[in-house]
């Protein structure tokens, strides 16, 4: 009887582990494109729009954000990248934390990694046009249109 009980417990644990693996694999990757314009002196404010391409469908969204720190100038960045840990299009919505430094003088490159409260990670990079130097902490809000 003890062998049978152990077998049932082991089978139950294997089922729990397998269900955890299934949940983890449901998270997918989506493609993201964003155009973001930012300007400021000390306090940076910006906004833009983008599109999430997920499971063959396009989901437009708006972006707004603010940063506090050493920011001076104005720039526009055309980001491309990916959204990690996404299970549905609505997961991209929310407030993303940003910590980073970057700069552009006439033309350059920018890159950022953001994460929202749902665990979605945006890894974005792209060309930056304008005159801006920054070393700031900020946040970005994304809302589906």
Please spell the DSSP secondary structure of 40-76, one letter per residue. EEEEEEEEEEEEEEETTEEEEEEEEEEEEEEEEEEEE
Predicted local confidence at residue 77, as pLDDT = 85
14 by DSSP, 3-state: which? helix
Across 27-31, 113-117, 137-141, least confident range: 137-141
What is the largest distance, in Å, between two alpha-carbon atoms of the chain? 77
The span from the CA of 106 to the CA of 73, in Å, is: 11
Q: Tokens 């994304």 label which residue?
A: 142
Q: What is the DSSP letter of 88?
A: S
Q: What is the mean pLDDT of residues 26-53?
A: 89
The span from the CA of 61 to the CA of 49, in Å, is: 6
The span from the CA of 100 to the CA of 112, in Å, is: 7
**pLDDT tier, 7 (very low <50, low <70, confident <90, very high otherwise):** very low
Q: What is the mean pLDDT of residues 40-55?
A: 88
pLDDT at 140 over 60: yes
pLDDT at 83 over 70: yes
With pLDDT > 90 as the criterion, what percentage of the chain qualifies? 38
**pLDDT tier, 137 (very low <50, low <70, confident <90, very high otherwise):** low
Contact 79, 34 (CB under 8 A): yes
Partners of residue 67 on adjacent β-strands:
44, 138
Across 34-43, 74-83, 90-99, least confident range: 34-43
């Amino acid at each position: 009887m003890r062998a049978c009980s152990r077998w049932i417990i082991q089978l139950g644990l294997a089922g729990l582990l397998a269900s955890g693996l299934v949940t983890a694999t449901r998270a997918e990757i989506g493609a993201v494109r964003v155009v973001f314009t930012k300007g400021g002196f000390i306090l940076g404010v910006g906004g833009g729009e983008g599109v999430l391409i997920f499971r063959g469908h396009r989901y437009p969204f708006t972006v707004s954000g603010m940063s506090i720190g050493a920011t001076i100038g104005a720039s526009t960045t055309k980001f491309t990248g990916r959204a990690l840990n996404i299970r549905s299009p609505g997961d991209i919505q929310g407030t993303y934390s940003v910590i980073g430094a970057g700069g552009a003088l006439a033309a350059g490159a920018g890159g950022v990694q953001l994460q929202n409260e749902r665990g979605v990670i945006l890894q974005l990079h792209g060309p930056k046009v304008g005159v801006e130097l920054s070393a700031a902490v900020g946040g970005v809000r994304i809302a589906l249109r």
